[in-house]
Structure 1
Amino acid sequence: GKNVRGLIPSPFADHHDQYVASYVATGKPSILDLTTEFVALHRERYVFAVLLTVTKISGVGEDSTFMGVVEPLPKSEDVAKCWVMATGSIISVDAVFSDWFAFKPEDLLGTYVSGLVVEGKKLEE
């Protein structure tokens, strides 16, 4: 199997090995055997929503092997998604968001949402 870091966007990919190491050290799972909504990274660098289920299939400690099942969630052309850090920095956008704002996903990463939003007062002028 392959490490999933190439299939998930930063900062999730950056911390993946840390999450696995934490599980190996403590034995306390955080996402094992749960189905949760997550994001996957498309080869064109935009993200899309998926359902993710991760199961441990064999091994002990550092020899553990995991399997993830990913199911794409249906997308709506009427909904654009943008994932933002608490600081306001954009970490991921979906294809609809990219289309609506006419930016490539990689051009938005690390920028601030406030840079894309026009103040209400300016709209009224």
Structure 2
Amino acid sequence: MSQHILIVDDEADIEALFRQQFRRDLKAGRFRMEFATSAQQALQIIEGTAGHEIVLLLSDVNMPGMSGLDLLPRAKAVRPDLAVIMVTAYGDIETRRRAVEGGAEGLLPKPIDFTALRVEVERRLVQRRAGS
């Protein structure tokens, strides 16, 4: 089963940035990345994940329409086992509290520290391979 990482962000340049940062992993086929430009689109992807496994959801907090914090409980209702990390330029205490209470495993500040993110991605891939 193919392992996927779902990235949700309304900024147009995010996909290119992530594909560049993880180009070696993607080329080697270690995992695939899917991108959604809205929380609603992300929910559709999560609900229709036939044939692949989403091992990590990275979601921006501030998006038009449904926010990442609103997406979080809805995604967890569909996939309780889904690892979620929220990404935000506004890492205040209230945002962090809401993210953790909603089931997020972490909160990454923008600009994204891709070294730290790579550690998180690797941890999720190893956990899935080990069957936990």
TM-score (norm 2): 0.25
Higher Cα Rg: structure 1 or 2? Answer: 1
Question: TM-score under structure 1 normalisation?
Answer: 0.25
Larger strand proportion of the pair: 1
